[in-house]
Amino acid sequence: MTAASISSIDSPVTSSSPSSGAGTAGGPQAGIGERVLIQELSKRYRNTVALDNVSLEVGAGELVSILGPSGSGKTTTLMIIAGFSEGAYSGQVLVGGRRIDDLPPNRRGIGVVFQHLELFPHMTVEDNIAFPLRMRGEPRSVVQQRVGEALELVQLSAFGKRIPAQLSGGQRQRVALARAVVYSPPVLLLDEPFGALDKSLREDMQAELRALNRKLGITVIHVTHDQAEAMAISDRIVVMNKGRIEQVGTPHQLYFNPESRFVGSFVGESVFIDGAAGKPAGQGRCEFRSRGGLVLQGRVGKPLAEGQEAALMLRPESVRLGAEGAAPGASLEAVVVDTVFGGERRMYTVAAVQGGEHFKVSVPSSALSATPLAAGERVHISWSPDEALILS
């Protein structure tokens, strides 16, 4: 991908109806954003199925992150939307209700920031940002004004005369972001744009992106493999696995109601106990029998048949030390195996006395906390049965 082709994705398809998609599900603000609809996308590379029937709706002004492990089809999805897909695919892409599959990238009204950002090295920051406007023959006064606004938006007004080599990594990313939005495209696509930055810069850029999305109302589809990043900035998250969408939901929904073990293990930290579903226990719960013979209870996400192979999922912060007032099937006796001090919390790994399964317990810490438990000590652990999720 050359810098020229990145920068040429600039002209809105529907400049005459900038907010026709506003007000659809998830759009937090009426602005320049358009609704993006992808329908039944499938794509193969020789023997690899990169995408397998992927459909998704992103509301006007919504910020959606596509989250998934390497090779799950995130970049392929983005490239198809942007118009840079190599070779054929099936399915369709609509922006603001219009099909864009046959439009060249520069007429899709989509700004793109790629994984490996490429600014023109010999051009000043101003000229880099002005490039998409000049390509379109905008008059000098317009170019000057828009570039000024874009620089202000990413807080780089004092850096316009520098060349990229005179900027930090984070500043270069902000220039790329400014260049992608200088044309006010209704849609902005980003492919792991902050992956190379250190933690604090990455957090700054996440806040920047969120602010941009809020200020302009621009629709943002952001690809990442960093679940904390997706949780922090997204209206909704799309979890992909092996070319398919596993689940779509708000960060809260994905965290507390994962529909599969894959999603539960990908978003946040959890412990999974293998076993089988037992009898219904009322209140949306059922019994669970672990391989080691523990009889527990948990909340049922998707319906399960009695005897069906299943896993009980527990977040470490849902488990507490002690068993006072514990509900049936939601406590057990264990032995401390390991303890890790993480600053704000301490994480214990414990093994059930009966069965030997490992559980994790995350306890908030403070300077006044009691002396931590040591390996080999016996403890009781307990949790609310509604915070134990039984998944197929």
Q: Which residues bind ligand ADP (CB under 6 A)?
A: 45, 48, 50, 68, 70-76, 86
Angle at 43 between CA 38 and CA 45, to 5 degrees: 155
Binding segment for Mg ion (CB under 5 A), chosen from 18-26, 75-83, 154-162, 380-388, is: 75-83
Interacting partner of 290 out of ligand ADP, Mg ion, none (Cβ under 5 to 8 A depending on kind): none
CB of 190 to ligand ADP, least distance (A): 12
Our CB check for ligand ADP shows the closer of 76 and 318 to be 76
Q: Return the one option of Mg ion, ligand ADP, none that residue 315 interacts with (CB less than 5 to 8 A, by type).
A: none
Q: How far is CA 383 from CA 129, 180, 365, 379, in A?
A: 54, 48, 18, 14
Contact 174, 156 (CB under 8 A): yes
- Taking the complex as a whole, how short is the minimal distance between the CB of residue 72 and ligand ADP, in angstroms? 4
Q: Which is nearer to Mg ion, 29 or 75 (CB)?
A: 75
Nearer to ligand ADP, 147 or 239 (CB): 239
Residue 17 has phi, psi (to 5 degrees) of: -130, 70
Quote the CA–CA distance of 220 and 226 in Å, as a whole number.
Answer: 17
**Which of ligand ADP, Mg ion, none does residue 45 bind (CB under 5 to 8 Å by kind)?**
ligand ADP
Query: Closest CB to ligand ADP among 71 and 292?
Result: 71
Q: DSSP string of 171-187?
A: HHHHHHHHHHHTT--SE
Pick what 166 binds: ligand ADP, Mg ion, none; C-beta below 5 to 8 Å, kind-dependent: none
List the one residue from 72, 75, 270, 290 that touches Mg ion (CB under 5 A).
Answer: 75
- Which tokens sit at 221? 């589809």
Beta carbon nearer to ligand ADP, 50 or 330: 50
Closest contact distance (angstroms) between CB of 70 and ligand ADP is 4
Rank residues 45 and 341 by Cβ distance to ligand ADP and give the closer one: 45
What minimum distance in Å lies between the beta carbon of 179 and Mg ion? Answer: 21
Q: Are strands 236-241 and 63-67 parallel, antiparallel or unpaired?
A: parallel
Least Å distance, CB 189 to Mg ion, is: 12
Q: In the numeric block, which tokens belong to residue 148?
A: 């000024």
How far is residue 34's CA from residue 60's CA, in Å, rounded to a whole number?
Answer: 4
Closest by CA position to 21, among listed 219, 181, 237, 183: 219
CB–CB of 185/132 below 8 Å? Answer: no
> What is the smallest separation between the CB atom of 115 and Mg ion, expressed in angstroms?
6
From Mg ion, ligand ADP, none, which one binds at residue 91 (CB under 5 to 8 Å depending on kind)?
none
Alpha-carbon span 26 to 95, nearest angstrom: 15
Q: By beta-carbon distance, which residue lies closest to Mg ion?
A: 75
Contacting residues for 5 by C-beta, under 8 A, at least 6 apart: 84, 105
- Quote the least distance from Cβ 267 to ligand ADP, whole Å: 16
Binding site for Mg ion (CB under 5 A): 74-75
